[in-house]
Amino acid sequence: MKFPYPKVLACTVGLLCGQNVGIGTATPASRLTINGNLSVGSGYIGTAAPPEGLIVQGATGIGTPTPGYQLHVVGNVRFEGDFVNQEITGANVSTPVQQIPWNAAAVPINGTTVSITIPDGSGVANSGVLITGFARIVNATTMTGTHALAGYFLILRRAEDAAFTVNPTLLTYGSGICALRFPNGLSSATSGFNMSTSLSYVDLNLLPGITYYYRLELYGNSFGVNGGTFDVYERNLSILQIKR
């Protein structure tokens, strides 16, 4: 098909120049150069893309002609920035952020609640979440008792509401010891020390469209203790959506 206008005119209006196509520019440096934004897909005909940005209705393949996802990359990928579909919370300080009674029964650790909504549910080629948690516990020297061992369970719990009253589920737990008290003759004082416990869990039993909440809890598991507190100095909980 013969181009209806002289090539000189085409270059002037930025349509064709040296086999490069320019839209909004008379000097395209690539096979296709667009000076502005771009919308791709019949559903985006009437939708303006962000300034200098791009919106694509269908799947995009990089290194593959048959993308199976909204973005399908065959090759190495490097991210410099944040994963958006994740949540992380925590504190790492030199003073206690929370003091929990020695006889605690599944007390929530402040600032460890995270949540995520999975759009496609669980199963092959669908989503799960990776949860990682950490807490550093020290027993205060106010612990009393003669022969005493201050221990605890660090619990990861899931629910379907922020108050943890809808389908609360204990997913996994770890344990630690953070203080000892010896009988008279060896030592009559409490020996308190740091104990950190880490948890990791992959949750695959998920339903699409449900918002799931996760948090850390501390459960006292002491022997011979009748006073004192568990002092929480550090606690972190993070969640990341993954595909099976």
Backbone angles phi, psi at 162, to 5 degrees: -70, -20
Q: Is 205 helix (H, G, I), strand (E, B) or coil?
A: coil
Which pLDDT belongs to residue 147? 74
Residue linked to tokens 């550090």: 234
- Cβ contacts of 68 within 8 Å, gap of 6 or more: 59
Average pLDDT of 155-184?
Answer: 89
How confident is the prediction for the chain on average, in pLDDT? Answer: 81
Which pLDDT belongs to residue 95? 79
Which pLDDT belongs to residue 94? 73
Which pLDDT belongs to residue 70? 83
Which residue blocks in the chain are alpha helix, DSSP H? 7-13
Average pLDDT of 196-201?
Answer: 92
Q: Does residue 8 surpass a pLDDT of 70? A: no
Which fold, 87-243? Jelly Rolls (2.60.120)
Which residue in 238, 217, 209 sits closest to 129, CA to CA?
238
Six token digits for residue 160: 């379907």
Q: Is 241 helix (H, G, I), strand (E, B) or coil?
A: strand
Domain-wise residue ranges, the chain: 7-73, 87-243
